[in-house]
Amino acid sequence: MSYELTIEPLGQTIEIEEGQTILDAALRAGIYLPHACCHGLCATCKVQVSDGEVEHGEASSFALMDFERDEGKCLACCATAQSDLVIEAEIEEDPDAENLPVRDFDGTVTRIESLTPTIKGVWIKLDEPMRFQAGQYVNLELPGGLGSRAFSIASAPSSDGEVELNIRIVPGGQGTTYVHERMQAGEKVRISGPYGRFFVKKSAR
Ligand code: FES
């Protein structure tokens, strides 16, 4: 089941699936909503719901206070639609953003190399090329209930269908420990992306 999500002041209406967050629906439609932690903790993604009902998901009570819920606010990274929605968001136009829609990609790990004692280079051949801007990142899904982790793309946007990730091990970090100690060439992986706005600001030259 899906609903209609209208994003103001853009006036754009997109589809949002049941259980899909507002942020995910927007990014996959190529619409950038401000966000940071994506876990309901930082409030960067707070938007006003001007029509419709949402489920607040894992929004923390300090990032979204009770009175804000009463005012119709929600955290786009956690909130899911319970009806058609209209939201008001603060959207900053970025002249350098290509607004590439986020998508899921299946891929195969082709190579893993130790670049330094603490950094592994991981090369992933994607089933189809992913367009991205230099400086963007992807979410890499890890097996065994580890969830996904965000890693910057180290390869150039021109590298056809293969992305390189440089992954530093985080002491005690389950995700990076998996990559360093257990990930193998030939492993099937899934990534989503591209995410982020930390790209070259050509307009500032
Ligand atoms: S991005 Fe941090 S609370 Fe949504």
pLDDT digits (tens, 9 = 90+) for 104-152: 999 999 999 999 999 999 999 999 999 999 999 999 999 999 999 999 9
C-alpha span between 110 and 126 (Å, rounded): 10
Domain contains 203: no
Domain boundary residue among 61, 88, 115?
88
Question: Which one of 62, 75, 90, 139 would you pick to mutate in the ligand 1 pocket, going by the greatest count of ligand atoms within 8 A of its CB?
Answer: 75
Q: Does 83 lie in the same domain as 12? A: yes
Average pLDDT of every residue of the chain = 95
Q: What are phi and psi of 146, to 5 degrees?
A: -80, -15
Provide the residue count of the chain: 205
Q: Does 20 lie in the same domain as 54? A: yes
* Residue 125 three-state SS: strand
Q: Does 84 lie in the same domain as 130? A: no
Q: Does 108 lie in the same domain as 60? A: no
Tell me, what's the pLDDT at 93?
A: 84
Q: Does 167 lie in the same domain as 115? A: yes
Q: For residue 40, which atom of ligand 1 is closest to its CA?
A: 3
Q: Residue 170: which domain range?
A: 103-198
Q: Does 123 lie in the same domain as 56? A: no
Q: Which residues are within 8 A (CB) of 33 and not within 5 positions of it... i.e. 6 or more apart?
A: 7, 22, 23, 26, 27, 45, 47, 76, 89, 91
Distance 205 CA to ligand 1 centre (A): 31
pLDDT digits (tens, 9 = 90+) for 144-188: 999 999 999 999 998 778 999 999 999 999 999 999 999 999 999
Count of C-beta atoms within a 10 Å radius of residue 132? 21
In the chain, how many domains are there? 2
Q: Does 140 lie in the same domain as 171? A: yes
pLDDT digits (tens, 9 = 90+) for 32-77: 999 999 999 999 999 999 999 999 999 999 999 999 999 999 999 9
Q: Which residues are within 8 A (CB) of 149 and not within 5 positions of it... i.e. 6 or more apart?
A: 139, 140, 142, 175, 176
CATH of the domain at 144: 2.40.30.10
